[in-house]
Amino acid sequence: MGKYLGLDSSTQSLTGLIIDTRTGQLEAEVSIPFDAHFKAAYGIDKGVLHLGGGQVHSAPLMWAEALDLLLQTLRDQGHDLGQIEAIAGSGQQHGTVYLNETAAGALGQLRGTAPLRDQLAGIFSRATSPIWMDTSTTAQCQELEAGVGGRGALLELTGNTAFERFSGPQIRKFAQEDPAAYGRTAYIGLVSSYMASLLAGKLVAVDPGDGSGTNLMDIRSRQWSPRALAACAPDLDHKLLPITPADRPAGPLSPYFVSRYGFAPGCQVFPFSGDNPCSLIGLGLVEPGQVALSLGTSDTLFACMDQPRVSALGEGAVFASPDGTHYMALICFLNGSLAREAVRDRHHLDWPGFTAALRQTPPGNQGALMLPYFAPEIVPRVAEAGVVRHRLDANNPQAEVRAVIEAQALSSRIHSEWMGVAIRSLCVTGGASTNEEILKIFADVHGCPVYRFETANAAALGAALRAHHGHLKASGAPRPWKEIVAPFAKPLPGSTIQPNPAATAVYKTLIDEYRKLEQAHIG
**Each residue's pLDDT tens digit, 228-245:** 999 999 999 999 999 999
* Residue 523 scores a pLDDT above 70: no
Q: How far apart are CA 29 and CA 345, in angstroms?
A: 36
Q: Is 15:460 a contact under the CB 8 Å cutoff?
A: yes
Indicate the CATH number for domain 3-277.
Answer: 3.30.420.40
pLDDT at 314: 83
pLDDT tens per residue across span 73-83: 999 999 999 99
Class assignment of domain 284-454+493-523?
alpha beta
Inter-helix orientation angle 351-359/397-414, to 10°? 80
pLDDT tens per residue across span 330-371: 999 989 999 999 999 999 999 999 999 999 999 999 999 999
Tell me the Ramachandran region of residue 78: left when phi exceeds 0, alpha when psi lies from -120 to 50, beta otherwise. left
- pLDDT band at 491; cut points 50, 70, 90: confident
* Residue 456 scores a pLDDT above 90: no
- The reply to whether 284-454+493-523 shares the fold of 3-277 is yes
DSSP string, 293-346: EEESSSEEEEEEESS----TT--SEEEE-TTSS-EEEEEEES-SHHHHHHHHHH
Domain ranges of the chain: 3-277, 284-454+493-523
Q: How far apart are CA 512 and CA 503, in angstroms?
A: 15
Rounded average pLDDT over 9-14: 94
* Residue 490 scores a pLDDT above 90: no
Please state, for a pLDDT cut of 70, what percent of the chain lies above it: 99
The H or E element that residue 414 is part of is: helix 397-414
Tell me the Ramachandran region of residue 215: left when phi exceeds 0, alpha when psi lies from -120 to 50, beta otherwise. left
Q: Give the total residue count for the chain.
A: 523
Rounded average pLDDT over 7-33: 95
Of the chain, the end-to-end C-alpha distance in Å amounts to 54
Rounded average pLDDT over 5-18: 96
Task: Show Cβ contacts of residue 352 under 8 Å, excluding neighbours closer than 6 positions.
Answer: none
- pLDDT band at 430; cut points 50, 70, 90: confident
